[in-house]
């Protein structure tokens, strides 16, 4: 065994380059990484159910012998196969079936002992498990890891078996446990009755009992929360030292903007505006997160903040994740402020996106640097080196989760501590937001504009497609417009795109030949996208066939029907964002999900979107289904590193970790004391971007 837990696993006995590459796909590159690849569940193999005791409809584990096996190829459907085994014990037998996995015939041999884990169902007169997880029991010297105990089950790539990984993890722990360094002080562990780190890692992988597994889970979850909170608290402390711009918040420009609106602000918008005014009047730099459900009116609030900055002679940068959204914000804000004067001058608004040609881009750069553009709206193009401001006073970032932490820091650095307003339509519960985004002040728009009707969301199957087409026809005849959305998934991009384009042609030619149909997807040139979108916005197009380019921000009040094809392939927040594109006018709107949800996770997503219109409730469900790392996005430093902790289900533990982190930073802001040396090293190793926060 290697003598350093940060050494590459490639050089461990039995690993080598090929397996090391497979393990690195899980983020396991060192021995320490392996320790922190936690089981996704456990099987209690101290006792198995006999086949006669199995309960129908329940997920259960059995140990049995293979009695027979059979592979059937379908003569009706090319490439379709069914592999089936019959297993039995002293009390009975059960069938196990796998579809389109013919290679399994090489795994199972008659008379071998197997462990099977799956849902027990009754088909006709027989018991059956469909696609159960399995493990072949071998009489080896590591048998004690696989049976007769609480056994860990890991997420692993094809080519790495559970048995192999368990053996590797056990050998690494046995050899290296003495090298594991404790980062929590003895006093802290004693206060909360935590296991030490070594004992926690042993019992999370190979629990001596269910109670020890729970204690290990609690300790390791706390550690993740604690390490995540320290940089947040350091950022907040640094923010207090950061002097910003004391804007003149009262004046004609913000008031004129509000008066020019064709609608009345909601009480929630008015409350948030008061919070932003107080921030911008202060000499401390504003760093505020604005949460609000899709269609709640965040952009209007952001534009009001922009008016405050403009009347003091400052420039505003407004960054969004897509060109479609940038163009839409540009047109919408331009129209809203077209008749408003800043003193005796008109407000000059610019658009900077990657598809702008070099000559035009250079001219925009020049106008920004000379202060001729007051508000510049753009995508990542705003982060380019050529963008220099004369007097940047406010940065607005929309859909913040689409940008990484490092990206979000670039734009404010183009000014001298400009105020920062970050917006998101991915709401999370307020108490959780305060704890997770503790370095930001938080505002919430928790009220939709008056007159909005909840979208009627329905799940249908392929057999009900004609009914969906009749609804579309009826609504178009009533004067409404329709979106039909197809998934574009990275792994099958070309196939997905082909399907969307093919269906567009079929809809146009055979299904709705009397209606005008448009098509928009990410592979179209920018001008083609703009043309398709503008024709739909102005009502020339009845149906817009689209991919997820629609997910963020598109606002067409007349669109009242959205059909989402293969809805099971979309994430829950994606589905909610897409649905937010309709229901923006006074008409009853309908979101129709055409889905064949086969996995449990897909069924939970569909159920959540059908039953809930409230974005906060949907966010809670999403967090439960996906877990924190996926929910908050791989780009979000810290949150995506939560491998075991769950902020939603362990809220109290998260609060405790925050309190302890505050104590540590108050006593030792630079983490220089002897007892914090290892903690400091761990933080710098885990969060390289945070080395500037007084701990390097």
Contact 236, 438 (CB under 8 A): yes
Considering only CA atoms, which of 318, 404, 331 is closest in space to residue 368? 318
Contact 398, 320 (CB under 8 A): yes
The structure tokens listed for 129 are 């498990």
Contact 634, 403 (CB under 8 A): no
Contact 467, 507 (CB under 8 A): no
- DSSP H or E stretch at residue 350: strand 349-352
Distance of CA 578 to the CA centre of its chain: 15
DSSP string, 249-268: --SHHHHHHHHH-SSPPPHH
Q: Give the Cα separation of 418 and 406 in Å (integer).
A: 17
Considering only CA atoms, which of 458, 464, 467, 460 is closest in space to residue 611? 458
- What pTM was computed for the model? 0.66
Q: Which CATH architecture has domain 47-147?
A: Beta Barrel (2.40)
Q: Give the Cα separation of 569 and 564 in Å (integer).
A: 10
Measured in Å, how far apart are the chain's first and last C-alpha atoms?
A: 32
Q: Give the Cα separation of 602 and 619 in Å (integer).
A: 15
- Domain 456-612 in the same topology as domain 47-147: no
**Domain boundaries of the chain, sorted by first residue:** 47-147, 252-282+297-424, 456-612
- DSSP H or E stretch at residue 502: helix 493-506
Residues (pLDDT < 70) of the chain are: 1-3, 74-79, 139-144, 146-148, 400-408, 429-431, 489-493, 550-554, 627-641, 687-696
The structure tokens listed for 9 are 């696993």
Torsion of CA 514, 516, 521, 525, to 10 degrees: 130
Residues in Cβ contact with 433 at an 8 Å cutoff, skipping those fewer than 6 apart = 289, 291, 427, 442, 444
The structure tokens listed for 309 are 């900055």
Contact 115, 62 (CB under 8 A): yes
Considering only CA atoms, which of 285, 184, 221, 240 is closest in space to residue 693? 240
Q: Return the pLDDT at 638.
A: 45
Torsion of CA 220, 222, 224, 230, to 10 degrees: -150
Sign of the Cα torsion 505, 509, 513, 516 reads positive
Q: Return the pLDDT at 481.
A: 94
Q: Give the Cα separation of 142 and 347 in Å (integer).
A: 74
Considering only CA atoms, which of 261, 335, 350, 339 is closest in space to residue 301? 261
The structure tokens listed for 54 are 């199995």
- Residue 656 burial class via C-beta count within 10 angstroms: exposed 0-12, middle 13-18, buried 19 and up: middle
Q: Give the Cα separation of 29 and 43 in Å (integer).
A: 27
Q: Give the Cα separation of 393 and 372 in Å (integer).
A: 14
The DSSP call for residue 540 is S
DSSP string, 584-601: -SSS--EEEEE----SHH
Contact 394, 306 (CB under 8 A): yes
The structure tokens listed for 318 are 């407004």
Q: Give the Cα separation of 583 and 556 in Å (integer).
A: 9
Contact 309, 247 (CB under 8 A): yes
What is the domain class of 252-282+297-424 according to CATH?
alpha beta
Backbone angles phi, psi at 503, to 5 degrees: -65, -35
Q: Give the Cα separation of 322 and 549 in Å (integer).
A: 8
**Residue that the structure tokens 């307020």 belong to:** 430
The DSSP call for residue 243 is B
Contact 475, 515 (CB under 8 A): no
Distance of CA 263 to the CA centre of its chain: 33
Residues in Cβ contact with 114 at an 8 Å cutoff, skipping those fewer than 6 apart = 63, 64, 65, 66, 87, 108, 134, 135, 136, 137
The DSSP bridge partners found for residue 429 are none
- DSSP H or E stretch at residue 432: helix 430-436
Q: What digits encode the pLDDT tens for the residues 286-327?
A: 989 898 887 788 999 999 999 999 999 999 999 998 888 888
Contact 254, 306 (CB under 8 A): no
Q: Give the Cα separation of 407 and 188 in Å (integer).
A: 35
Q: Return the pLDDT at 290.
A: 92
Q: Give the Cα separation of 627 and 642 in Å (integer).
A: 9
The DSSP call for residue 7 is S
Q: What digits encode the pLDDT tens for the residues 382-439?
A: 998 889 999 999 999 987 656 666 666 788 889 888 999 999 877 776 667 777 777 7
Q: Return the pLDDT at 456.
A: 95
Q: Give the Cα separation of 593 and 605 in Å (integer).
A: 11
Q: Give the Cα separation of 71 and 99 in Å (integer).
A: 10
Q: Return the pLDDT at 403.
A: 63
Q: Give the Cα separation of 606 and 190 in Å (integer).
A: 44
Q: Return the pLDDT at 140.
A: 59
The percentage of the chain sitting over the pLDDT mark of 70, rounded to a whole number, equals 90
Look up the CATH number of domain 456-612.
3.40.50.300
Contact 509, 570 (CB under 8 A): no
The structure tokens listed for 644 are 């075991």
């Amino acid at each position: 065994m290697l003598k350093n837990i940060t050494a590459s696993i490639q050089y461990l006995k039995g690993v080598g380059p090929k397996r090391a590459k497979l393990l690195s796909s899980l983020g396991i590159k060192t021995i320490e990484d392996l320790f922190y690849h936690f089981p996704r569940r456990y099987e209690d193999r101290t006792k198995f159910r006999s086949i006669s005791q199995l309960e129908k409809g329940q997920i259960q584990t059995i140990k049995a012998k293979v009695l027979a096996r059979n592979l059937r190829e379908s003569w009706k459907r090319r490439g379709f196969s069914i592999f089936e085994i019959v297993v039995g014990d002293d009390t009975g037998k059960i069938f196990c079936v796998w579809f389109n996995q013919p290679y399994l015939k090489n795994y199972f041999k008659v008379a071998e002992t197997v462990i099977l884990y799956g849902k027990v169902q009754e088909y006709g007169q027989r018991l059956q498990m469909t696609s159960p997880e399995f493990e072949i029991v071998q009489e080896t010297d590591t048998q004690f890891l696989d049976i007769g105990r609480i056994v860990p089950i890991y997420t692993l790539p094809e080519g790495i078996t559970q048995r192999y990984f368990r053996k590797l993890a056990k050998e690494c722990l046995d050899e290296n446990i003495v090298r594991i360094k404790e980062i929590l002080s003895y006093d802290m562990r004693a206060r909360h009755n935590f296991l030490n780190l070594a004992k926690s890692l042993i019992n999370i992988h190979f629990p001596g009992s269910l109670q020890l597994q729970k204690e290990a889970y609690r300790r390791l979850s706390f550690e993740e929360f604690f390490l995540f909170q320290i940089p947040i608290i350091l950022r907040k402390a640094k923010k207090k030292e950061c002097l910003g711009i004391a804007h003149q918040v009262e004046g004609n420009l913000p008031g004129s903007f509000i008066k020019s609106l064709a609608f009345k602000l909601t009480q929630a918008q008015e409350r948030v505006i008061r919070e932003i005014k107080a921030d911008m009047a202060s000499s401390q730099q504003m760093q505020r997160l604005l949460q609000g459900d899709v269609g709640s009116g965040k952009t209007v609030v952001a534009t009001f903040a922009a008016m405050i900055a403009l009347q003091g002679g400052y420039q505003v940068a407004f960054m969004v994740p897509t060109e479609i959204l940038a163009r839409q914000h540009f047109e919408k804000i331009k129209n809203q402020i077209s008749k408003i004067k800043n003193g005796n001058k008109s407000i000059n608004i610019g658009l900077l996106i990657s598809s702008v040609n070099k000559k035009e881009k250079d001219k925009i750069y020049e106008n920004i640097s000379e202060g001729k553009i007051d508000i510049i709206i753009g995508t990542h193009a705003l982060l380019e080196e050529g963008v220099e401001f004369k007097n940047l006073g406010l940065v607005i970032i929309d859909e913040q989760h689409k940008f990484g932490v490092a990206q979000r820091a670039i734009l404010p650095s183009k000014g001298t501590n400009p105020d920062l307003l970050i917006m998101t339509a991915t709401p999370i519960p307020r108490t959780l937001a305060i704890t997770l985004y503790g370095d930001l002040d938080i505002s919430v728009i928790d009220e939709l504009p008056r007159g909005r009707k909840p979208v009627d969301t329905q799940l249908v199957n392929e057999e009900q497609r004609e009914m969906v087409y009749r609804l579309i026809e009826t609504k178009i005849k009533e004067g409404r417009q329709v979106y039909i959305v197809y998934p574009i998934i990275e792994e099958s991009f070309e196939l997905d795109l082909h399907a969307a384009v093919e269906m567009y042609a079929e809809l146009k030619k055979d299904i709705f030949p009397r209606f005008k149909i448009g098509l928009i997807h990410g592979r179209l040139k920018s001008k083609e996208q703009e043309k398709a979108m503008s024709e739909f916005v102005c009502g020339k197009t009845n149906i817009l066939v689209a991919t997820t380019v629609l997910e963020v921000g598109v606002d067409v009040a007349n669109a009242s029907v959205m059909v989402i094809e293969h809805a099971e392939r979309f994430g829950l927040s994606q589905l909610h964002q897409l649905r937010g594109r309709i229901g923006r006018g006074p008409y009853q709107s309908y979101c129709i999900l055409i889905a064949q949800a086969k996995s449990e996770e897909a069924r939970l997503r569909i159920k959540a979107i059908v039953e809930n219109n409230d974005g906060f409730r949907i966010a809670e469900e999403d967090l439960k289904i996906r877990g924190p790392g996926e929910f908050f996005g791989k780009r979000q430093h810290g949150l995506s590193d939560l491998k075991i902790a769950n902020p939603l289900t362990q809220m109290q533990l998260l609060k405790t970790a925050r309190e302890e982190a505050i104590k540590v930073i108050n006593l030792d802001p630079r983490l220089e004391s002897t007892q914090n040396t290892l903690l400091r090293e761990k933080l710098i190793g885990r969060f390289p971007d945070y080395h500037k926060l007084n701990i390097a």
